[in-house]
Homo-oligomer: A and B are copies of this chain.
Amino acid sequence: MTLHATNDFFIPARTGFPAPAGRALASLQPISVYPAGSEIYAQGEKAGNLYQVEFGCVRVYRMLADGRRQISAFHLSGETFGFEAHPLHHFFAEAIGAVGVRTLLPAQGIDMSSQILPLALQGLVRAQEHLLVLGRQSAVERVAAFLLDMAERQGGLDRLELPMSRTDIADYLGLTIETVSRVFSKLKEKGAIRLISLRSIEIRKWQVLRGMME
C-alpha cells in the first residue's frame, strides 16, 4: 500500500488533544494529510526528516519476517517522530485514521541539534519505560499502564479516546487482541473503566488502574 499524502493542504489543527509544543521548530512547513492506513515512511527508506503530528495518531513499528509486529510508539498531536541513527529507516510509520503531519526538513547549514535533542531524549525515556512494561508486567498491568498513559497524554480527563484498533493496542503491548479484549472486559466488570464506545473509554477508578501498575 503506497498511498501518498495530499500535500500543501491547510487543515486547522483541531484535534481534541493538547496543543502541539515546539512548533517554532519549523513553522514555515506546510501540513501534509495522510489518509487512514497510509505509510509515512518505510523500513529501508532514506531517513533524515522529522515529522510533527498536527492531528490524528501515528504508529511506528517493526516487523519480523513471519509477520509478527511490534509497535514501538503511538504519536499524538504535538509529538515528533522519525528519529533515526542511521541513513536508512529501521521502522515503519503509518497513519491511524487521517493524520496531519508537519514535515521538518533538515535545514542545510543550520544546526538544529539543540532543539531536536530534547525531543529525542523524550522518545528515549519513553521507549526505555515501555521496556519495563513489556519485560516485566502482566497483561492486566500492561493494559492499565497503557490506559493511564493515553489518559495522561490527552489531558488527564476521565474520558479518553483510543484512536487505534485492538490489534494496534495488542501489538503495542506485546499481547494478542483476544487478551487485550479480555482485560478490557475484566476492568469493565471491576468497574474500573466504562466503554462508552469501542474507541472511547471512561476511567471510573483511577486508583484501581494505578494500583495495577504497582
Contact = CB atoms under 8 A, between A and B. Distances in A.
Best-surrounded residue of A83, A116, A117, A135 (most CB of chain B within 10 A): A135
B117 A113 contact: yes
B214 A125 contact: no
Best-surrounded residue of A68, A114, A121, A171 (most CB of chain B within 10 A): A121
A128 B91 contact: yes
Nearest to A111: B114
Contacts of A66: 214
A136 B70 contact: yes
A121 B84 contact: yes
A154 interface: no
B136 A131 contact: no
A127 B70 CA distance: 13
A123 B124 contact: yes
B85 A132 contact: no
A125 B136 CA distance: 21
A137 B134 CA distance: 11
Interface string A1-37: 0000000000000000000000000000000000000
Interface string A53-72: 00000001010111011101
Interface in A144-179: 171-174
A186 to B, nearest CB: 20
A109 interface: no
B121 A83 contact: yes
A56 to B, nearest CB: 21
Contact of A65 (B83, B117, B214): B214
A102 interface: no
6 contacts: A62-B132, A73-B128, A83-B121, A127-B131, A130-B131, A135-B172
